[in-house]
Structure 1
Amino acid sequence: MSELPTRSGLLGSPGLPQPVSVRAWPKPGWVPSGSGPHHGGATAEAAWDGVHRRPVRITIIDRHVLFADSVAVALESEGFIVTVIDPGGPHASMATVLAAAARSAARLVLLEQRLGTVGDGLRLVMPLTASGATVVLLTESTDKARWGAAVHQGAKDVLHKSCSLEDLVGTAGRVRDGLPLMSRELRTALIGAALADQDEVRAIRARLDRLTRREMEVLGALMSGDLVSEIARSNVVAVATVRAQVKSILSKLELGSQLAAVGAAHRAGWRPAATATRGLTA
């Protein structure tokens, strides 16, 4: 695999499918001098590491091109050296995105949570942190348990994607200056929410394990949006039989409605066992 391009290009070898699009800022013409950055503006000085006297590198991993490029331009205008990794390509994967991020050697990584077909960006927090980068998660979620999961895995901050460019530039500045991004109190509260959520998910999974194969099949059908009458018809059983099975499911899950049961199953990431066979009786 070839080296990561220093300007705009792709991670990969010529003639092979290109998994990850990589765009770099500043554009050609930005040349740091020996005594400090040269970027045509007084604010560029702020992007230099005050300890090591070197430009601060930032990598943005985001599948929304307009958003990522807007953030990159704002950071570049402050003198930061920015690489944008677009995980939206058909051949992108967690491995190729992580490889591109590692090659960018960034001090700060702005990581989108939802990476499309690549998957959940939370899976990249720990390896990126282990590589020495400061990771800030960008998310559209307001679920504090999800925020806490990111922090628990090593993220130094979580920002909602509705935040302003000034907030993002300010975050980059705090990383540059070695300042904390999150108060200890907020960090503790978010991690607590994540751990409580994990406990609840484990409890849901334990209750799901009580279901018979037939009940698993019925719950799977409900998750697919099938009505009780449709489940009965497809399995050639009476509607009353399926209703009894649904009642048993709700009892075992300790829930009061089909909607709650479906929601709990989704929350736990549950899917009916592959060995579940249509037509089995409870």
Structure 2
Amino acid sequence: MGRLVRLVGAPAALNIARRVPRLRVDDDGRVLDFDRDEPQDTVNQLLDQYNTVFGDVGQLLGRQATRDFSDSPHQTILHEAGILPAREAQPARILIVDDHVLVRDGLAGLIEPQPDLTVIGQAGTVHDAIEAARRLRPDLILMDIALPDGSGSQAARIIRSELPEIKIVFLTVHEDDDVLFTAIASGAAGYLPKSLRTAELLTRLRAAVQGEIALPPAIARRILDEFGRLPATTETDEAGGLTDRETEIVRELAHGASNREIARKLVISENTVRNHVSNILAKLHLHSRRDVAGYARKHHLDTPSE
């Protein structure tokens, strides 16, 4: 190592350095040799000498003296010695999933200026979200529920099954309870409305990164209310864990109803119907609406809902 550190404060710096055992510097302040068995001890002694000679500004000068060293592979020594400040944590890496480019770009514009958060990618479909998660390994995925080729809950299940360390937070306009509970059941770390203010969104994302659940109080209350209505014990659900709403939709699918017809009958949006159908296929491990109809007949779920 030809030049480990260049000292500042010459000529006083040279006199200080020459007090440290096994530390050799040339007349320009370049370090020629040091205690290679105990390099941290050399740095500590150098810092002590700076503090002794320069008093209150010793720590600052010590940092300046070792500025070149901070870019070397040995900078860990300086952090441990206290000459350099503690390393800042790397920003949390976020993948944004939404089928609207403007929404994705808008969210990226809010997140990127944050020093502790960074956007590493975007996706607009379930397929692309899964592929991006596998490739980029983000710390957190901020995802919409409604996607062109399925639901965010479906993507979350697949991603969480393969990469359980990734945290997933849904950001959506959907407030239907069944959609909410399905999202939480998929392993999500949070569920946020798109009407959220920017400051609260960032706060919730930071909480999720730290392992907390990102839920506004109103949504948390809805979840607790739902748990409060559950019986103490339940029998095994023959319908594969479907919610009441999903069971209604299975009955309609068994009779060949379209998404529009189901939406009209149940007074919900077609997007909500599509999300339910995607969740039903995922829960029952089926591939098509025809498969659902066959499942419904086998499990006596083909009686039309009233």
TM-score by length of 2: 0.47
Q: Does 1:129 align with 2:165?
A: no
In structure 1, C-alpha distance between the alignment counterparts of 2:118 and 2:101, rounded to whole Å: 18
Q: Does 1:95 align with 2:127?
A: yes
Structure 1 residues 95-123: Cα deviation after superposition (integer angstroms, max 9, x where no partner): 3431112222111110111122x222221
SS, match of residue 150 in structure 1: helix
Q: 5+ unaligned residues in a row in structure 1: which ranges?
A: 1-32, 36-47, 89-93, 210-215, 225-258, 275-282
Aligned to 2:190: 157
Q: Does 1:57 align with 2:76?
A: no
Q: Does 1:106 align with 2:138?
A: yes
Shift of residue 49, structure 1, vs aligned partner: 10
Aligned to 2:176: 143
- Please report the RMSD computed on the Cα atoms of aligned residues, expressed in angstroms: 4.5
Amino acid at match of 1:138: L
Identity of aligned residues (%): 22
Aligned to 2:243: 198
Aligned to 1:235: none
Decide whether the 8 Å contact of 2:143 with 2:171 is kept in 1. yes
SS, match of residue 170 in structure 1: helix
In structure 2, C-alpha distance between the alignment counterparts of 1:84 and 1:115, rounded to whole Å: 17
Decide whether the 8 Å contact of 1:113 with 1:121 is kept in 2. yes
- Higher-Rg structure is 2
SS, match of residue 137 in structure 1: strand
TM-score by length of 1: 0.50
SS, match of residue 148 in structure 1: helix
Decide whether the 8 Å contact of 1:149 with 1:191 is kept in 2. no
SS, match of residue 85 in structure 1: strand
Structure 1 residues 35-57: Cα deviation after superposition (integer angstroms, max 9, x where no partner): 9xxxxxxxxxxxx998xx33211
Question: After the TM superposition, which segments of 4 or more aligned residues of structure 1 sit over 2 Å from their partners?
Answer: 94-97, 127-130, 175-197, 199-209, 259-263, 265-274
Aligned to 2:118: 81
Aligned to 1:254: none
Structure-2 change in CA distance of 1:129 and 1:207 (3 Å): closer
Decide whether the 8 Å contact of 2:100 with 2:124 is kept in 1. no
Counterpart of 2:103 (choices 63, 67, 75) is: 67
Decide whether the 8 Å contact of 1:74 with 1:165 is kept in 2. yes
Amino acid at match of 1:85: Q
Shift of residue 167, structure 1, vs aligned partner: 2.2
SS, match of residue 243 in structure 2: helix
Shift of residue 155, structure 1, vs aligned partner: 0.8
Q: Report how many residues are paired.
A: 182
Structure with the greater relative contact order (CA < 8 A, sep ≥ 6): 1 or 2? 1
In structure 2, C-alpha distance between the alignment counterparts of 1:83 and 1:127, rounded to whole Å: 20
Counterpart of 1:174 (choices 207, 219, 229) is: 207
Q: 5+ unaligned residues in a row in structure 2: which ranges?
A: 1-70, 76-85, 231-236, 278-288, 295-306
Amino acid at match of 2:169: V
In structure 1, C-alpha distance between the alignment counterparts of 2:142 and 2:193, rounded to whole Å: 12
In structure 2, C-alpha distance between the alignment counterparts of 1:197 and 1:65, rounded to whole Å: 33
Amino acid at match of 2:137: A
In structure 2, C-alpha distance between the alignment counterparts of 1:49 and 1:176, rounded to whole Å: 18
Decide whether the 8 Å contact of 2:173 with 2:193 is kept in 1. yes
Decide whether the 8 Å contact of 1:135 with 1:155 is kept in 2. yes
Shift of residue 273, structure 1, vs aligned partner: 7.1
